[in-house]
């Protein structure tokens, strides 16, 4: 709660005009309140990979947002301090700087607010803010910096704002004028995608975030009564995730229940799982085997290159 109050204060006090930072090919300019200094970003990176952030010094942000696996977690659900597990799959941090809201249920309004979440969550880092700040103050590496919680969160968020990933084969094909960037199968998949998936995983004329930034109930995780085990935002709705780097960030869905992109395609072909609040746009798709494979090939073309 203290974390949240502080973040809210930070947000409210900043009324200056947003600064636009150009994005990589295929991504829109990033709007930030203040451009971080190189030192702040370096501090954020150090903190992101530092297990001292967790109460027992075992978990860092990178434990669950692992650069080796697209800054996401290859496990179904993440494991926090003492082996505790949550119920949702950790989403990638790549391009998270663009999201209007953070978390599967959108409960955080900024990256700073998001960063505070796992630190205090007893299933994740389980570190009370005053204890964390006391530890950093006494630490020979961080102590001399005289950090505040606000600066810690800003630094982590600022590092995350550098984790932009565009310039994928799709971007080079669509926005870079390179008509050889996609295979013929991926182009066929692009067409299928345009007929069915693009409604929620949006593509714009100049750039593509592959998300409508809305919340939808697609029926993932129903029980024997046909009710979703995790109700997400209230009626089983979860944030539409971007599909950039999707081939690097298995498993899929908010509960990490689907292991491969083929399984994801088949899930949608099947019309999800029926339940009282299923989104009206989710219905069985009549796709041939070739179209299903092409769709997977297209999704594999969305692997980006991280900006340096």
Provide the binding-site residues for another protein, judged by CB under 8 A.
219, 222, 224, 226, 257-259, 262-263, 266-267, 269-274, 284, 287-290, 292-293
**CB closer to another protein, 147 vs 299:** 299
**CB closer to another protein, 183 vs 263:** 263
Angle at 78 between CA 240 and CA 47, to 5 degrees: 95
**CB closer to another protein, 183 vs 257:** 257
Cβ atoms of residues 284 and 270 within 8 Å: yes
Q: From the CB of 36, what's the least distance to another protein, in Å?
A: 41
Return d(Cα 132, Cα 207) in angstroms, integer.
39
Q: From the CB of 244, what's the least distance to another protein, in Å?
A: 23
Q: Which helix (H) or strand (E) holds 159?
A: helix 149-160
213: left (phi over 0), alpha (psi -120 to 50) or beta: left
DSSP notation for 93-150? -TTGGG-SSBSTT--BSSHHHHHHHHHH-TTTT---HHHHHHHHHHSTTTGGG---HH
Q: From the CB of 279, what's the least distance to another protein, in Å?
A: 14
For residue 46, what are its two tokens?
A: 């150090």
Q: From the CB of 272, what's the least distance to another protein, in Å?
A: 7
**CB closer to another protein, 117 vs 271:** 271
Q: From the CB of 257, what's the least distance to another protein, in Å?
A: 7
**CB closer to another protein, 68 vs 286:** 286
CA distances from 89 to 66, 72, 103, 192 (A): 13, 8, 10, 27
Angle at 240 between CA 289 and CA 50, to 5 degrees: 115
**CB closer to another protein, 152 vs 258:** 258
Q: From the CB of 232, what's the least distance to another protein, in Å?
A: 17
């Amino acid at each position: 709660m203290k974390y949240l109050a502080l973040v809210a204060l930070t947000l409210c006090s900043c009324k200056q005009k947003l600064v636009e930072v150009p994005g990589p090919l295929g991504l829109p300019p990033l709007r930030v309140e203040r451009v971080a200094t190189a030192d702040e970003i370096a501090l954020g990176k150090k903190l992101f990979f530092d297990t001292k952030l967790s109460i027992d010094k075992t978990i860092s942000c990178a434990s669950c947002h692992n650069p080796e696996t697209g800054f996401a977690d290859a496990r179904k659900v993440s494991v926090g301090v003492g082996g505790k597990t949550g119920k949702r799959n950790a989403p990638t941090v790549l391009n998270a700087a663009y999201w209007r809201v953070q978390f599967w249920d959108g409960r955080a309004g900024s990256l700073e607010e998001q960063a505070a979440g796992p630190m205090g969550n007893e299933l994740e880092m389980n570190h009370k803010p005053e204890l964390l700040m006391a530890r950093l103050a006494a630490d020979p590496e961080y102590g001399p910096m005289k950090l505040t919680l606000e600066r810690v969160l800003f630094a982590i968020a600022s590092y995350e704002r550098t984790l932009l990933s565009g310039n994928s084969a799709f971007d080079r094909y669509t926005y870079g004028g390179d008509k050889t960037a996609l295979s013929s199968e991926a182009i066929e998949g692009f067409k299928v995608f345009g007929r069915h998936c693009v409604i929620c995983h949006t593509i714009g004329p100049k750039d593509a975030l592959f998300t409508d930034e809305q919340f939808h109930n697609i029926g993932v995780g129903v029980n024997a009564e046909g009710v979703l085990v995790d109700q997400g935002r209230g009626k089983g709705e979860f944030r539409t995730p971007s599909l950039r780097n999707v081939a690097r960030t298995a498993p899929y869905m908010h509960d990490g229940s689907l292991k491969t992109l083929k399984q994801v395609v088949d899930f949608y072909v099947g019309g999800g799982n029926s339940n009282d609040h299923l989104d009206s746009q989710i219905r069985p798709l009549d796709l041939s085997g070739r179209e299903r494979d092409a769709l997977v090939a297209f999704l594999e073309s969305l692997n980006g290159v991280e900006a340096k």
